[in-house]
A = this chain, B = another copy of it.
Amino acid sequence: MEVPEIVNQMHEEGLESLLIFQPENITYLSGYWPTSSSILLLKDDPVLLVPKLDRKEAEEISTITVEELKSLDKLKKELPANLGVEPSLNIATYQKLGDDFKIRVTDLLERSRIIKSDHEISNIQKATDIAEKSLLELEIRGAEEEVAAQLEYIMRINGSSKPAFDTIMASGYRSSFPHASTSSENIESPLVIDWGAVHNHYASDTSRTLIQTEREEEIFDIVLEAQTKAIKTIKPGVKASYIDKVARDIITEYGYGESFLHSTGHGVGLEVHEMPSLSSREDKKLEAGMVITVEPGIYLEGEFGVRVEDMVLVEKRSRVLNNMDSRLSF
């Protein structure tokens, strides 16, 4: 969404101004990723306030007028009485704003960010491409943490500014932890890799599970069936919770419902986890332009785990942004 349109929506919500601290929201509006505490004051003539040390660099990048941020106390004197703030604003800053304002918390920007522009989709596609290309160049041998280090390095060389999140490289029984921390143990089977790149501040998020035994293959097939059918169900107008239900029902039919420990997916963009959530509690309906992950998993305590995760763009139906096979071998 363009800045003037967001300003209009802000007025429609009865707000004169929005005080924005979250780096992702500042980047969304201005193109500038703040490296120090900065504030974007959204109003009819928006202004990006950055500390003196960042001013020159911000002026080179920001599409919104840059001014020097002196202090919140000084800024307060220039603020309109009717002010919106982000849900992520910390309570210490909120309290510093004091009682002079009529402050309302609004997720206006987070809601705007759900529908991606062509430009945003192209950044997300690029991040996904970098992540995939890098995995295919990776030699999977040695300790989990060494292989994770290699993968992150290859992504960086291929144009990712950083890993989108702590890479998961979890093998053997550690794959049964959905968020396993990467260990110094040598890689065994199966191996869950959950990794992402960042391109122009936009993230990707993909998972693959490399398997060896028949038992692992049996579980893998169930997860893949759940994922495939969930993806096929995606189209505008369908409730996000229904996609979760489709994946969960299949896994439950096979008797593993209790081992599917998380929701089926989430939005991806400037943040790795953003709206909507593909969970049983999400009331939102899918709309064209959303980018979501679809990532069912089965985690067998003390044994192993399997997860398959792709990035999906909602169009007339679903378009999977990943090109890589779901089934990879060691």
Residues of A within 8 A of B (CB): 33, 35-36, 51-54, 56-57, 85-92, 94-95, 105, 107, 145-146, 148-150, 152-153, 156-157, 161-163, 166, 176-182, 261-262, 299, 301
Contact = CB atoms under 8 A, between A and B. Distances in A.
Given A57-B179, A87-B91, 20 more contacts: A33-B181, A51-B262, A52-B261, A53-B177, A53-B179, A53-B299, A54-B179, A56-B176, A57-B180, A85-B91, A88-B92, A91-B91, A91-B105, A92-B105, A149-B153, A149-B156, A152-B152, A152-B156, A161-B182, A162-B163
A89 B91 contact: yes
A135 B85 CA distance: 42
Contact of A162 (B57, B86, B146, B166): B166
A54 B94 contact: no
Contacts of A57: 177, 179-181
Nearest to A36: B179
A88 B87 contact: no
Given A92-B105, A94-B91, A262 B156 contact: no
A161 to B, nearest CB: 7
Nearest to A263: B53
A56 B170 CA distance: 14
Nearest to A158: B149
Contacts of A156: 145, 148-149, 152-153
Contacts of A148: 156
A88 B21 CA distance: 13
A103 to B, nearest CB: 9
Nearest to A107: B92
Most chain B CB within a 10 A radius of its CB, from A51, A90, A157 = A90
Contacts of A261: 52-53
A143 B288 CA distance: 39
A151 to B, nearest CB: 10
A144 to B, nearest CB: 12
Contacts of A94: 91, 94
Contacts of A91: 85-91, 94, 105
